[in-house]
Amino acid sequence: MRPSILKLLNPDIIVEMLVMENCLEEWDKMLNTADILYSYAQCIYEERQYHKAKGLPVPLMDMQRPLVYYFGFSHLMRASLIRSSRSMTTLER
């Protein structure tokens, strides 16, 4: 298992950044940040699965919420971006 720089990030701060970018309507930054949050959750999930498969103790991460929250929140933010971009293009017509 290769080490990842993503594990150095705090996912709760990434969630706060997404909320702020949504309020400021920074759509491009919000899309990038949602991708980073998803990549973080995926990295941690894969690492946990690897440790379980090898029979090793699962490493604990400093997170305020369960891992599934970060998967879901990243998808929710991407979905809201898609919905808002579709409504904008509908209004332009």
pLDDT digits (tens, 9 = 90+) for 37-89: 999 999 999 999 999 999 999 888 788 999 999 999 999 999 988 887 776 66
As a whole number, mean pLDDT of residues 7-24 equals 88
Tell me, what's the pLDDT at 7?
Answer: 66
Distance CA(77)–CA(67), nearest Å, equals 16
Residue type, position 13, single letter: I
Tell me, what's the pLDDT at 10?
Answer: 87
